[in-house]
Amino acid sequence: MAIDFTLSDEQLGLRLQAREFAETVLSQVPDVIAPIPDPLDRFRALKPFYQQMVDAGFVKGLVPVENGGHRFSNLQFALACEELARVEINTPTAILGTGLGTFPIITGGTPEQKERFLAPFVDGSPALAAIAFTEAAGGANFDHPDPQYGVQTFAVRDGDEWVINGRKAYTTNASGWDDEGADIISVVCRIDETKPPAESLAIIVVEKGTPGVTFSGIIDTIGHLATNSPYVDFVDVRVPVENLIGAPGDGLALTKGAFSWTCSSIAAAAVGKMRRAFEIAYDFVSTEKRSGSVPVIDHQNAGYMLADIKTRIEVGRYFAWKAADHFDKTGGLDRELSNMSKIYNSELAVQTVYDAMRLVGVDSYGDRAPLGDIMQDVLCLPIYDGGNMGVRRRHLHEMLRTPGYDPLAAAENRLSV
């Protein structure tokens, strides 16, 4: 039987729905946020667009059927992300952040925890979730085996409560629409400072309005201009003991699982951004002569570069699809293709947008051809959500060093280790 890359009617329908939604709704976002100087106000301006994503079923697509949603497969989510990110990156990022915050609950929570914590995400409200992962000092070594390093946010049990103290950064969505916090924040912490992550790393859910959670500043980024990236301080934050997801030590697998889930979606978003850059460059070289006798596209060097860009887009798309499909087929246990696709496509996008700018020339550095804005967005992709150097390549390196690593396994839909 031949390998078939044909999308099913359902998959194609989702892709077309996302494309139409992006063109009719998300296309309005850039003009809305452009005149707003404050990054937090830019984020707040996303709320009506996020609500429309809720109304269109994208947030319910994060939640399992048994909890009132219609959870997308990883492949379905990647198919939608390409279309959404092609037009606008901030609103889909808020959805992605909500997916990260709910992932540990969905994969490791009890039925009671799922019913309680996922309820806001199926009632039609613009609910937000966040994962408080990155330490203020950085997150690359969150799983350091020496207990004196790594995660420095701690939860200490006091009777029937956990008391959380620590500081996190780049906690997408965490401050919420009203500065009172996201509906839930899944806090990556340690419950014993003397034990390594395999025994002490945990995820504890903090609900909106819990005393002791404060937001001490917003990181204003050069791209993703309406993405919410606050510092979050947890000072004697008390939550019930039943807010712990799984058991002590489970936080390691739950965190890695959450960030593996996002990989193919980021890889697909990179394809969307490359597509948009290609479209702009293609239109430019097809119509502009730049004081010459023929359109730019008639020159061989321009034509060859366009061919290379289009090839990268096709390669990146099918890699994202393969990684997403492999994640689904391995029950979310895949690490290899997930990490590889995020690394490869995010870095490919930076090179591709740069090459599109080279084709257009100096106009790409102004507002006549909005490639500069695209570049500001894609520059984030290799360094966020687990940076390619500090996290992603290290995880692959660890896999390559594992006895029994099978380099052909991923190609044959098996786990590599």
SS3 163: strand
Please report how the helices 371-378 and 336-360 are oriented relative to each other, as an axis angle in degrees rounded to 10: 160
Per this entry, what is the length of the chain?
417
Q: What is the tens place of the pLDDT at every residue in 360-408?
A: 999 999 887 799 999 999 999 999 999 999 889 999 999 999 999 999 9
Phi first, then psi, for residue 135 (nearest 5°) are -70, 155
For CATH 2.40.110.10, list the domain ranges present in the chain: 129-248
The residue whose two tokens read 């002569």 is 289
Say which DSSP state 26 is in.
Answer: G
Cβ(263)–Cβ(341) below 8 Å: yes
User: What is the identity of the amino acid at 58?
Assistant: F
Contact 171, 130 (CB under 8 A): yes
Q: For residue 227, how many C-alpha atoms fall within 13 Å in the half-sphere facing its CB?
A: 25
DSSP annotation of 362 reads: G
Q: What is the pTM of this model?
A: 0.95
Residues 22-40 have a mean pLDDT of: 97
Coil/strand/helix, residue 392: helix
Could you tell me the end-to-end alpha-carbon distance of the chain, in angstroms, rounded to an integer?
27
Q: What are the residue ranges of CATH 1.20.140.10 in the chain?
A: 262-412
Q: What is the CA radius of gyration of the chain?
A: 22
CA distance 98 to 77: 13
SS percent in the chain: helix, strand, coil, step 5: 55, 10, 35
% of the chain beyond a pLDDT of 90: 89
Work out the pLDDT band at 2, boundaries 50, 70, 90: low
Q: Which residue matches tokens 């896999």?
A: 399
Question: Does 48 have pLDDT greater than 60?
Answer: yes
Tokens of 385: 């959500």
Token pair listed for 308: 């290379």
User: What are φ and ψ of residue 107, in 5° steps?
Assistant: -95, -25
* Cβ–Cβ under 8 Å, residues 204 and 129: no
Known catalytic residues are 385
pLDDT digits (tens, 9 = 90+) for 89-136: 999 999 999 999 999 999 999 999 999 999 999 999 999 999 999 999
Considering the chain, what percentage of its residues have pLDDT values greater than 70?
Answer: 100
> pLDDT (tens digit, 9 = 90+) per residue, 312-370?
999 999 999 999 999 999 999 999 999 999 999 999 999 999 999 999 999 999 887 79
HSE-CB for 251 with a 13 A CA cutoff: 30
Domain 9-121 classification at class level: mainly alpha
Closest CA to 81 of 246, 367, 242, 316: 316
HSE at residue 234, side-chain half, CA atoms within 13 A, is 33
| Residue 366: CB atoms within 10 Å | 10
Backbone angles phi, psi at 35, to 5 degrees: -85, 0
Tell the residue number behind the tokens 């997801």, with chain if given: 245
* Token pair recorded at residue 338: 């997930």
Pairing relation of β-strands 230-240 and 201-207? unpaired
Tokens encoding 380: 């984030």
DSSP per residue over 85-136, as a string?
Answer: HHH-SHHHHHHHHHHHHHHHHHHH--HHHHHHHSGGGSSSS---EEEE-SBT
Asked if pLDDT for residue 192 goes beyond 90, the answer is: yes
In CATH, 129-248 is 1.10.443.10 = no
Distance from C-alpha of 360 to C-alpha of 375, rounded to nearest angstrom: 14
What residue ranges of the chain are covered by domains with CATH 1.10.540.10? 9-121
CATH architecture label of 262-412? Up-down Bundle (1.20)
The answer to whether residue 3 scores a pLDDT higher than 80 is no
Alpha-carbon torsion 45, 51, 54, 59, what sign?
Answer: positive
